[in-house]
Amino acid sequence: MNWVTIKRIFRAGLLDFWRNAFVSFASILVMTVTLFVVGMTIFAGVMLNFTIAELRNKVDVSVYFLTTTPEERILGLKSALEARPEVVSVGYVSREEALAQFRERYKDDQLALQALEELGQNPLEASLQVRAKDISQYEAIAQFAQNQDTENGAAASIDKVSFYDAKYRVALDRLQSIADSAERLGFIVIAILIATTIAISFNTLRLAIYSSRDEIQVMRLVGAGRFFIRAPFMIEGMLYGLVAGFVTLLLFYPLTWWLGTATASFFGGVNIFSYYVQNFLMFFGIIVGTGVVLGAIASWLAVRRYLKI
């Protein structure tokens, strides 16, 4: 294939795109809906994953030590905990830090601060905050901390181990299973939704080309090769996808901006507007790419039916 042929194919595709303006408009509209659904799927996935990760992060187990416990002993337990594979991180808050945090938290509460003054000494205990890989591992970690503490017959230095109480854990477990099934169900729903919109896009393009079936026959009869007939239709289909992709990306800009602050406060931190802007290249690739590939394949298949003479 030479340069002149390529030029002719592109020119024919562009001209048809322009001269069949209404058909182009309708096809672009339908494709935009498809690409919009694809984009929303990406956003939904990000939201869900982020929310679950965030909730998991908020759960930890705190080990409080008697005020008389020397720091070396606490740090010893800290490294023992850190050595365990299910532990992600262990944070240490000394008594002084705990006091500072208390003062900071109650800086507007004169009564609490007064009570602290009256005590004359720091009543707060040092603590370790242990974060595990999975919610179900906290019980075992708490047990381990207790056992490790009294190992070799030493006097207990741990005052109490608090992980979120039973009710909270039940709620968390339930949330986890809801999140899991939402992920599974969501995947099915989204798969169906995407398949449906792709089918609609496909059919729209087929209808657009159906109206050209007589033309395709004439082109064959005046001696045009199959590729020479098919290629401009593919260019047209790719143009639909390209324009629909740009329209979709453009639509997401005000939409995510509008939803940005709302999602940030609701989902605990993730702002979809900044996510969109930061990952724009990925969105561009996926949405425009999907549109162009979809347009090309749909046109290729649709024209094939009329090329059999």
Partner 1 sequence: MIYYDRVSKIYADNSVALEDVSFSVEPGEFISIVGHSGAGKTTLVKMLLAEEKPSAGSVFFESINIHELPLSRMGEMRRKIGTVFQDFRLLPNKTAYENIAFAMEAGGRSEADIHSDVPHVLELVDLGDKMNNFPDELSGGEQQRVAIARAIVNQPDVIVADEPTGNLDPVNTFEVVQILKKINDLGTTIILTTHNKGVIDSLKKRVITMDRGKVIRDDREGKYIL
Looking at the Cβ atoms of 13 and 39, the one nearer to partner 1 is 13
5 binds partner 1, rule: CB under 8 A: yes
Q: Minimum Å distance from CB 5 to partner 1?
A: 7
Looking at the Cβ atoms of 167 and 308, the one nearer to partner 1 is 308
The 10 Å CB-count burial string (b at 16+, else e) for 10-35 is eebbeebbeebeebbeebbebbbebb
Q: Minimum Å distance from CB 201 to partner 1?
A: 22
Distances (CA, A) of 152 to 81, 143, 155, 161, 262: 17, 16, 9, 20, 54
CA pair distance 130, 91, nearest whole angstrom: 7
Q: Minimum Å distance from CB 300 to partner 1?
A: 16
Q: Minimum Å distance from CB 8 to partner 1?
A: 5
The 10 Å CB-count burial string (b at 16+, else e) for 189-202 is ebeeeeeebbeebb
Q: Minimum Å distance from CB 303 to partner 1?
A: 14
Per DSSP, the three-state class of 189 is: helix
149 binds partner 1, rule: CB under 8 A: no
Looking at the Cβ atoms of 96 and 215, the one nearer to partner 1 is 215
Q: How many CA atoms lie within 13 A of 122 on its CB side?
A: 16
Per DSSP, the three-state class of 66 is: coil
Intra-chain end-to-end CA distance of the chain, in Å: 22
- Give the residue among 284, 287, 291, 299 at the shortest CA–CA distance from 198: 291
Chain length of the chain: 309
Interface size with partner 1, residues (CB under 8 A): 22
Looking at the Cβ atoms of 11 and 160, the one nearer to partner 1 is 11
308 binds partner 1, rule: CB under 8 A: yes
- Give the residue among 232, 239, 245, 237 at the shortest CA–CA distance from 297: 237
Residues 80, 149 contacting (CB under 8 angstroms): no
- Segment 207-266, which members bind partner 1 (CB under 8 A)? 214-215, 218-226, 228
6 binds partner 1, rule: CB under 8 A: no
Q: Minimum Å distance from CB 231 to partner 1?
A: 12
Looking at the Cβ atoms of 7 and 105, the one nearer to partner 1 is 7
73 binds partner 1, rule: CB under 8 A: no
Looking at the Cβ atoms of 5 and 177, the one nearer to partner 1 is 5
Looking at the Cβ atoms of 73 and 220, the one nearer to partner 1 is 220
Looking at the Cβ atoms of 16 and 125, the one nearer to partner 1 is 16
Q: Which amino acid is at 251?
A: L
**CA 256 from centre of chain:** 14
Structure tokens at 137: 């591992």
- Segment 11-70, which members bind partner 1 (CB under 8 A)? 15-16, 19-20
Q: Minimum Å distance from CB 304 to partner 1?
A: 11
Q: Minimum Å distance from CB 266 to partner 1?
A: 51
Under the rule (CB under 8 A), what is the footprint of partner 1?
4-5, 8, 15-16, 19-20, 214-215, 218-226, 228, 307-309
